[in-house]
Amino acid sequence: MATQVTLVASAFLLLLSLPFSTSISHSHRSAAINLFATSPASLEDAYEALRVFEILGLEEKKTHLSGDACQKVLENLDSASSLKDLFYALKVNNILKCDVNSNALKDIASRLKATVHDPSTLLDIYYSIGGLVLIKDQDSNVDAYLADVDRVFQSIKALSQSDGRWRYSSDNPESSTYTAGLAIEALAGVISLASSEIDQSKVNIVKNDIIKLFDVIEKYDDGTFYFDDKFVGGEEQRGSLSATSSVVRGFTSFAAVTSGEINLPGDIILGLAKFFLGIGIPGNAKDFFNQVESLAVLENNRISIPLILSLPETVYALTKEGQLKVKVNTVLGSAAPPLTVKLAHAFSTGAKDSAIIDSKELQYDQESGFHVLDAFPKNVDVGTYMFVFEIVLHDSGSEKVFATGGQIHVPIYVTGFIKINNAEITVADSDPGRAQTQKKLDLAGNDVVSLSANHLQKLKFSFQLTTPHGHVFKPQQAFFKMRHETKVEHIFMVGNIGKKFEIILDFLGLVEKLFYLSGRYDIELTVGDAVMENSFLRLLGHLDLDLPKAPEKAARPPPPPVDPYSRYGPKEEITHIFRAPEKKPPLNLSLIFLGLILLPSIGFLVGLLRLGANLKNFPSSTVPATFGILFHVGIAGVLLLYVFFWLKLDLFTTLKAFGLLGAFLMFVGHRILSHVALTSAKLKSA
């Protein structure tokens, strides 16, 4: 049983020991290979796979897709494909540089310009503007610039709402965050397609819209920021990942094509990066693409590049000498600029006022890239601590480029062996002056006790827990269990009183809870904590309890729990007594009955003789004679089958045999009777 509690505590520790806030890792590369293993069903899927491979540096996988992808690109660019297919064909071509005809791009550019000036929805504008931007970047000989930029800019801006969200179309009053990201990205495309500088006042209006959009951003307690969405085009509901990814692509694209600053705090940019990293590894290709591409966009955005502080482990044991290691990277794992990591202070979560570390600079190991705290202070004991880190950039100019997040709080778990002392169990009368039974226990060993009590007595159990440094340890779980011989269990919390843990059970007040069940009780103690390396569940002994007889209206104990695995165990043997056989009749009576049965057969044979039965008409030719013999053999076989049925065969076996024999008789009987009929007809005609 002690092993069970240890396993549970170890599993909890395993969850705690997961890396803290890591950047993109090798696990993402392995996941990308698995998620995009199948051939893309559409150009959108092909682009997402190629873009992920490009970001993660999987050039071999990217090359593997290039042949089929380029063929699809050429097919879609040469045909009258939808705006969406054209958009993703151009995106794929932007990565693979397929051999696209310049004249085809000119025709597509003309079609996209016509759509921009007469769109039906925001998506039409988004695909058209995005396609023109891609054409401009891929072929400088194609005129992709917009003639009436102000009109296009205004048609998109007309769909904006006062809260920073955008509508899907002019006919639809509902707005969404996801659509806002598309609209802002489209406006960035309009600015890049302008042949002359656009009015700065319009740019500032969009910047204000972006700021207003961030007023509705959601936040977790750990500084993670994200956008939620409720409505997208009246057709589908997007999740937080899609909405946040859309906004990130939108405002970073807009910042890349405009001058001046967008007043977004670095903490928000860092919080968005934490959101994407906190997802872990998504389970589907679309979410994986949104995560990886958003992180790539944040890695190279013009507003503020987030730096991620990560710890390979957050659980440390006092029984082992370990170093606290910290690494700072960009979201994609690239090296950070020159910096120093400081441990501003560290404190126990149970005593926030008393710091165990104050302002200590971590040493940088150039070979491993970690900032290292060589050893924990001597006053660090078993428990949960909060370490507060600060990232200090060496170049003051880097503070405008990178977002460090100020003070970063990281929970650290320090484990160790807890000493269990002064365990004793006492059975005493309610009258303090009377004698009592007191026994000491070694909870670290295998001691068990045997006690007896009645309903007028009390049971008192107490013990102490101390850390390796001698401090009182308060575990997360301390349970005292009594299990009756009928499997009825009762669990009591063990309270903390000063420096010891104690529980007092007054059986007079517990008789109803114990269902007046007298008899033997096994008593167990469970003590467990995530930082306690020797958590345990052990048997203390047994208690013979004498309780009064239950009143007539007292509550009855619940039925014993049914083991769910018992249904797979051996079943109870079924015994059946057959009815005794009936008494057989006398032998003489049986013989007389047999003679009466055979008498009709004898009469049948006598009748045949009297009628002059003979074999004169038996066929003489070979073939008819053969069928005649087989027919009589078949009849004999039927009679023999009756005999076997009477002696040993069951009905079903007899019927199967009779079916085969009957088919044989029908065939040969038909042949011999046809011959007899033919012979008779010839005799009559003669």
- Pick from 222-231, 406-415, 565-574 the range whose average pLDDT is largest: 406-415
Q: What is the pLDDT of residue 332?
A: 93
pLDDT band at 87 (very low <50, low <70, confident <90, very high): very high
- CB neighbour burial string for 563-574, b if at least 16 within 10 angstroms, e if fewer: eeeeeeeeeeee
The pLDDT tens digits for 352-375 are 777 888 889 999 999 999 999 988
The pLDDT tens digits for 294-315 are 999 999 999 999 999 999 999 9
φ/ψ bin of 389: left (φ > 0), alpha (ψ from -120 to 50), beta (otherwise): beta
The pLDDT tens digits for 426-456 are 999 877 656 578 999 998 888 899 999 999 9
- CA nearest neighbour of 240 among 193, 185, 301, 282: 282
**pLDDT above 70 (res 233):** no
Q: What is the pLDDT of residue 600?
A: 84
**pLDDT above 50 (res 7):** no
Percentage above 70 pLDDT, the chain:
94
The answer to whether the Cα torsion of 344, 346, 350, 354 is positive or negative is: negative
Across the chain, what does the average pLDDT equal? 88
Strand 324-330 and strand 339-348: pairing?
unpaired
pTM over 0.75: no
**CATH number where 411 lies:** 2.60.40.1930
The pLDDT tens digits for 47-68 are 999 999 999 999 998 888 888 9
Do 79 and 189 sit in the same domain of this protein? no
User: Across residues 196-219, what is the average pLDDT?
Assistant: 91
Do 269 and 362 sit in the same domain of this protein? no
- More confident site: 359 or 14: 359
Q: How many CA atoms lie within 13 A of 440 on its CB side?
A: 5
User: Across residues 235-239, what is the average pLDDT?
Assistant: 62
Do 287 and 350 sit in the same domain of this protein? no
Asked whether residue 341 is assigned to any structural domain, the reply reads yes
**pLDDT above 70 (res 44):** yes
Do 162 and 131 sit in the same domain of this protein? yes
**CATH number where 429 lies:** 2.60.40
User: Across residues 371-398, what is the average pLDDT?
Assistant: 90
Among 540, 558, 576, the domain boundary falls at: 558
Do 194 and 96 sit in the same domain of this protein? no
**pLDDT above 90 (res 460):** yes
pLDDT band at 231 (very low <50, low <70, confident <90, very high): low
- Overall number of domains in the chain: 5
Asked whether residue 585 is assigned to any structural domain, the reply reads no
Among 43, 75, 100, the domain boundary falls at: 100
- CB neighbour burial string for 12-24, b if at least 16 within 10 angstroms, e if fewer: bbeebeeebbbbb
Do 426 and 479 sit in the same domain of this protein? yes
Question: Of 235-239, 500-504, 587-591, which gets the smallest average pLDDT?
Answer: 235-239
Asked whether residue 651 is assigned to any structural domain, the reply reads yes
In whole angstroms, give the CA distance from residue 279 to residue 39.
26
Asked whether residue 15 is assigned to any structural domain, the reply reads no
Q: What is the pLDDT of residue 123?
A: 92
**pLDDT above 80 (res 2):** no
Do 95 and 231 sit in the same domain of this protein? no
pLDDT band at 222 (very low <50, low <70, confident <90, very high): confident
Helical axes 285-299 vs 240-257, angle rounded to 10°: 30
Among 535, 558, 581, the domain boundary falls at: 558
The two structure tokens encoding residue 264:
């977004």
Asked whether residue 581 is assigned to any structural domain, the reply reads no
Do 351 and 469 sit in the same domain of this protein? no
309, β-bridge pairs: 328
The range of the structural domain enclosing residue 537 comes to 419-558
The pLDDT tens digits for 325-337 are 999 999 999 999 9
Asked whether residue 227 is assigned to any structural domain, the reply reads yes
